Amino acid sequence: MSMSRPSPIQMREHLSGGDHPCVRSELVRHARGRGAGADVLQRLESMPDRTCDGPSAGSAEIL
């Protein structure tokens, strides 16, 4: 079963306040700590493992 696509607002909500630059595993950990649902976590885990300069970069990468 495929997950629904999280909205840009959901992504920003779960990625905001994190330290940057960071790598994918740090984004996932931060989003999980902010209560992200399975759809958000799945999208984060599916993005390439590279450094993100800020929350907008992370959300743009997966939306």
What pLDDT score was predicted for residue 57?
56
Q: What is the three-class DSSP state of 13?
A: helix
The string of pLDDT tens digits covering residues 6-53 is 888 888 888 888 887 888 899 899 999 999 999 999 988 988 888 877
pTM of the model: 0.76
What pLDDT score was predicted for residue 15?
85
Tell me the one-letter amino acid at 43.
R
What pLDDT score was predicted for residue 1?
46
Q: Tell me how far CA of residue 56 lies from CA of 7, 27, 33, in angstroms.
A: 13, 12, 18
61 or 9: which carries more pLDDT confidence? 9
